A and B are shown apart, each in its own frame.
Chain A
């Protein structure tokens, strides 16, 4: 009892003293965090937050997990309009225009302090693209990825293919996929050749195919899209043909959420998925698997993807300073390496790949650097004004095409028309 009183008194005195020197005051931060892949992501983030708080007892961070990227964005915006915005959040790097239009965020370079510029230059440039507009840096990469091709080496062997030679071109992928399809006695498919997910992130996959075919999907100002260009249509046509003509992919929409299970259960020999799933696949696979860059048509390529840290405008200067401190801690080479090893996401700075932990990991598991190596072919993810609406329009078009409701040409013509109607307001 006595001890307790004493402790309380001391605590009280310390608080009073704390008010004197404002630096010692505890700063509370709320952070919204999106989870897009399987595996214990929330646990990993919680542990990192704990570690940070141990080193910085004057900052308290509450991580709120609000579902996938779209759900988290919804939650953050609702909270903001309700007058209770978070102080920092990881959101789609591509939500930048929407967040700017809503006047929700502050540029990072304005609050990063004197050596901020140097720090921001330490990231992979490909990951910075989506965050830089009007000569300012608005977000810091963290949960970043590219799309990679996962393939089942055992299935390759079984089908008489070289398990060390994943498909390098579109034509090769279709050919190999045909050999990988397995049917039972009554002609039902028990293993598909390849699956590209068409729900949730259909626009992302379409963009990958378009890039490989040498076509950009949007301009830098974020107010023009190129959905009905000939090469975009060809890209979607190839995708549709994989199921409609070649019969190597299931008909209808392929579900993003269950695709990893399909792959792990051997229901498909290859899948296109985010590298963020890598560690979950590694832990779940009962067979040898390989990871490869996406195959090329005219060139290799993948959009980058995933989430960046944003700092909200409504946060107090102290909170903004604390938020930057946290972000710098999270993206420091050791942490970035640790995060990449635990999830499969690409570590955001080259320095992370120079750490001992990362070097040791990559030596045993070379699949871990495929997504990073692909960065030199990577292009900024589709990002325009009114992004949520445009994503929906593209996703609808992709789904219309893969389900056979519309031809790729018609679906993309209609998507372009609708997008122009939305984006005309931003010209």
Chain B
């Protein structure tokens, strides 16, 4: 704004130079804009467009307005996978954040075998989800799986962990927390190391306890990181469905299905592409709402400026 007002008073040469600068800037942005527009913005708009049309398996696709959306609101499976997704997010996001913080604080201190510990905590993140899911599938297999063998050695009865709607979600959540926490730990570790050591010294001069220092100094200073991680974890909980393909296929009776997996099924097993578009629009709306909350609301309240 200020620059614009000032530029009116500037001589012509300067103005031409600033025009050249902005052309230059746009040219530099162009490759990214083209890629984003082709692979992100256009598909989103096309999806939105298709969600207002009929499938057209026999005859041309017709404009049907909000019919697909009405169908969605009537669809019990949609509501179930949405509910599952919320439960899944509530179960995995706070747990993996807490665990990540705990691990970060632990390996931030000077202890023997620190690098080894860091590596150990980070390893699950490096593994592909498909590999992880196969390993955990063996853990949970009834009778001869690791978990059941362990329980039986202790004299307990085995359980059909993934075949029981009451336990399947917890089993998957535990696995995802195990896989994700190490990744978030890295962010906390970086943030912890950027906290100036003087604060700690000052606090110990004042006689503050370690818990008091963590609660009143470290944790508030980590808030921006926590926000960043929680948004990422939340988005991940909607994005990560590889494990379902390997472990449960969303079963039994949709008890472990998530929104994105349901979209995949509708699109590539049922070939109902317009309904899949409708569900995708819903998913995008949810994720956009999460992102907007971060940018518009939370960012302003959390940063110490």
CB distance from A243 to the nearest CB of B (A): 10
Q: Does A102 contact B (CB under 8 A)?
A: yes
- Cβ–Cβ contact B269 & A74, under 8 A: yes
Complex Cα distance, B138 from A258, in Å, reads 11
B165 with A199: CB separation less than 8 A: no
Instruction: Say yes or no: A74 contacts B268, CB within 8 Å.
Output: yes
Given A250-B160, A262-B143, answer yes or no on A70-B270 (Cβ-Cβ < 8 Å). no
Interface window among A151-159, A227-235, A388-396? A388-396
Binary per-residue interface labels of chain A (89-115) against chain B in the complex, 1 for a CB within 8 Å, 0 otherwise: 000000000100110000000000000
Q: How far is the CA of A131 from the CA of B79 in the complex (A)?
A: 37
- Are the CB atoms of A400 and B143 closer together than 8 Å? no
> What 0/1 readout, one digit per residue, does chain B (250-284) give for beta carbons within 8 Å of chain A?
01111100000000010011111000000000000
Q: How far is the CA of A75 from the CA of B155 in the complex (A)?
A: 46
Residue of A nearest to B164 (CB): A252
Q: Which of A40-60 contact B (CB under 8 A)?
A: none
**A414 CA to B76 CA, complexed, in Å:** 10
Residue A267 at the B interface, CB < 8 A?
yes
**Is the pair B57, A250 in contact by a Cβ cutoff of 8 Å?**
no
Interface footprint category on A: 35 or more
Number of B interface residues, CB 8 Å? 29
| Alpha-carbon distance A258/B143, docked complex (angstroms) | 11
Say yes or no for A325: interface residue by CB 8 A criterion: no
Q: For residue B51, which residues in chain A have a CB less than 8 angstroms away from its CB?
A: none
Chain A's nearest CB lies how many Å from the CB of B187?
Answer: 36
* Cross-chain contact A252 with B160 (CB below 8 angstroms): yes
Q: Mark A186-209, 1 if CB is under 8 A from B, else 0.
A: 111000000000111000000000
Contact B164 A188 (CB under 8 A): no
Q: How far does the alpha carbon of A250 sit from the alpha carbon of B255 in the complex, in Å?
A: 19
Beta-carbon contact of B152 and A389 below 8 Å: no
Q: Which interface residue of B142, B152, B155, B253 has the most chain A CB atoms within 10 A?
A: B253
- Residue A399 lies at the interface, judged by CB distance under 8 Å to chain B: yes
Q: Is the CB of A98 within 8 A of B271?
A: yes
The CA of A399 and the CA of B162, in the complex, are separated in Å by 12
Q: Mark B229-266, 1 if CB is under 8 A from A, else 0.
A: 00000000000000000000101111100000000010
The answer to whether the Cβ of B158 comes within 8 Å of any Cβ in the partner chain is: yes
Q: Which residues of B contact A399 (CB under 8 A)?
A: 251-253
Shortest distance in angstroms between B275's beta carbon and chain A's nearest beta carbon?
10
User: What is the bound-complex CA distance between A70 and B268, given in angstroms?
Assistant: 9
Min CB gap B258→A, angstroms: 15
Do B155 and A267 touch (CB < 8 A)?
A: no
Q: Does A265 contact B144, Cβ atoms closer than 8 Å?
A: yes
Q: Is the CB of A252 within 8 A of B271?
A: no
Q: How far is the CA of A102 from the CA of B272 in the complex (A)?
A: 12
CB distance from B31 to the nearest CB of A (A): 26
Interface residue? B58 (CB, 8 A): yes
**How distant is the Cα of A403 from the Cα of B158 in the complex, in angstroms?**
16
A406 to B252, CA, bound (A): 12
Q: Within 8 Å CB of B111, what residues of A?
A: none
A405 partner, pick from B142, B144, B160, B253, beta carbons under 8 A = B253
User: Which A residues lie within 8 Å of B271 (CB)?
Assistant: 77, 98, 102, 388
Q: Is the CB of B251 within 8 A of A188?
A: no
Please pick, from B77, B157, B252, B268, the residue contacting A253 in the complex, using a CB distance under 8 A.
Answer: B252
Contacts of B224 in A (CB 8 A): none
A187 to B251, CA, bound (A): 29
Say if the beta carbon of B141 comes within 8 Å of chain A.
yes
Asked whether A376 is an interface residue with its Cβ less than 8 Å from the other chain, the reply is: no
Interface string of B154-174 (1 = CB under 8 A from A): 010110101111000000000
Quick check: B270 and A102 within 8 Å, CB to CB?
Answer: no
Residues from chain B with a CB closer than 8 A to the CB of A258 are 141
Are A392 and B253 neighbours in the complex by a CB distance under 8 Å? Answer: no
A74: chain B residues at CB < 8 Å are: 268-269
Instruction: Flag if B269 contacts A70 (CB, 8 Å).
Output: yes
- Nearest-neighbour CB distance to chain A for B147, whole angstroms, equals 14
Query: Are A388 and B141 in contact, CB atoms less than 8 angstroms apart?
Result: no
Contact present for B269 and A252 (CB under 8 Å): no
Are A250 and B142 touching (Cβ within 8 A)?
A: yes
Residues of B within 8 A of A414 (CB): 76
Return chain A residues, CB-CB under 8 Å to B57: 101-102
25 inter-chain pairs at a CB distance below 8 angstroms, sorted by A residue, are: A70-B269, A74-B268, A77-B271, A198-B252, A199-B163, A199-B249, A199-B251, A251-B164, A253-B163, A265-B144, A388-B269, A388-B270, A388-B271, A389-B269, A389-B270, A392-B265, A395-B251, A396-B254, A399-B251, A400-B252, A402-B252, A403-B163, A403-B253, A403-B255, A405-B253
The 9 closest A-B pairs by CB, nearest first: A252-B163, A253-B163, A252-B160, A399-B252, A400-B253, A399-B253, A253-B252, A389-B270, A388-B269
Apart from the given pairs A250-B142, A253-B252, A389-B270, 10 other A-B contacts in the complex at a CB distance below 8 Å: A198-B163, A199-B163, A250-B160, A252-B160, A253-B251, A386-B270, A396-B253, A399-B253, A400-B252, A405-B255
